[in-house]
């Protein structure tokens, strides 16, 4: 996931607005006590998501893939008054931790966590979302996109994480490497969809930023 020279990455972080004390605490706890902490959005990506949200000032946000709640809190920073963020994750074991940080961030009235299979939950949602962040199982990225894109309003923004997949998208897909192949298919799908315009940003592990026309 490290595409920049270490010193250059340090310079980038030094010239990016700092994460809050709460987010820094969540960052540290995730690295200490939760498996696969590299899944955390972290400082640079978190500030990027926050800035996108603040520019858009969305009324409704959907996040697919909560993990420990770091990105949800970042995205919620830009919500309009009385706005709502729905975040979905299949891992019920992290629900208590996530909700404790949401409460500490005073966002319990703005963030709702749903635990379960996103492919089953999304069809029952009102899809009038202004902003969608996809950061879940890579093999289903295209399915999540297909469930949402037709019903999203014009101007809605979707952001998909990990679309560079540590550079593996440039390599020939190895046998049984389902995630890499799925991300290649997803990236190609977005590039060829004339309903949207998109930019693949080489931030951290790659953010595909998509705007519905």
Which of 107, 124, 113, 9 has the alpha carbon at shortest distance from 53?
107
d(CA 71, CA 89): 13
* Cα→Cα distances 53→32, 62, 85, 161, 185, Å: 28, 12, 11, 15, 27
DSSP tag of 80: P
Is 1's pLDDT higher than 70? Answer: no
Which one is predicted more confidently, 37 or 97?
97
Secondary structure class of 89 (helix, strand, coil): strand
- The conformational region for residue 114 under phi > 0 = left, psi -120 to 50 = alpha, else beta, is beta
The residue written with tokens 């970042």 in the block is 74
Phi first, then psi: give them for residue 164, nearest 5 degrees. Answer: -95, -20
The residue written with tokens 């998208």 in the block is 169
Confidence of residue 143 (pLDDT cuts 50, 70, 90): very high
Is 3's pLDDT higher than 80? Answer: no
- pLDDT tens, residue by residue, 163-192: 999 999 999 988 889 999 999 999 999 999
For β-strands 157-161 and 111-115, DSSP reports them as unpaired
Q: Which domains does the chain have, with CATH numbers?
A: 6-212 (3.40.50.150)
């Amino acid at each position: 996931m490290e595409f920049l020279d270490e010193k250059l990455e340090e310079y980038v972080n030094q010239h990016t607005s700092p994460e809050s004390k709460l987010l820094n605490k969540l960052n540290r706890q995730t690295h200490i006590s939760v498996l696969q902490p590299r899944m955390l959005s972290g400082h640079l990506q978190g500030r990027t998501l926050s800035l996108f949200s603040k520019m858009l000032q969305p009324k409704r946000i959907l996040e697919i893939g909560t993990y420990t709640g770091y990105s949800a809190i970042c995205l919620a920073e830009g919500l309009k008054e009385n706005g709502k963020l729905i975040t979905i994750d299949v891992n019920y074991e992290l629900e208590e931790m996530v909700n404790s940080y949401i409460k500490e961030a005073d966002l319990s009235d703005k963030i709702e966590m749903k635990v379960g299979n996103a492919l089953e939950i999304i069809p029952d949602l009102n899809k009038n979302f202004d902003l969608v962040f996809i950061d879940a199982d890579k093999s289903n990225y295209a399915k999540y996109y297909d469930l949402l894109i037709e019903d999203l309003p014009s101007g809605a923004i979707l952001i998909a994480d990990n679309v560079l997949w540590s550079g593996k998208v440039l390599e020939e897909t190895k046998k049984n490497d389902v995630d890499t192949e799925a991300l290649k298919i997803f990236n190609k799908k977005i590039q060829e969809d004339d309903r949207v315009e998109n930019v693949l940003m080489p931030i951290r592990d790659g953010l595909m930023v998509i705007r519905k026309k």
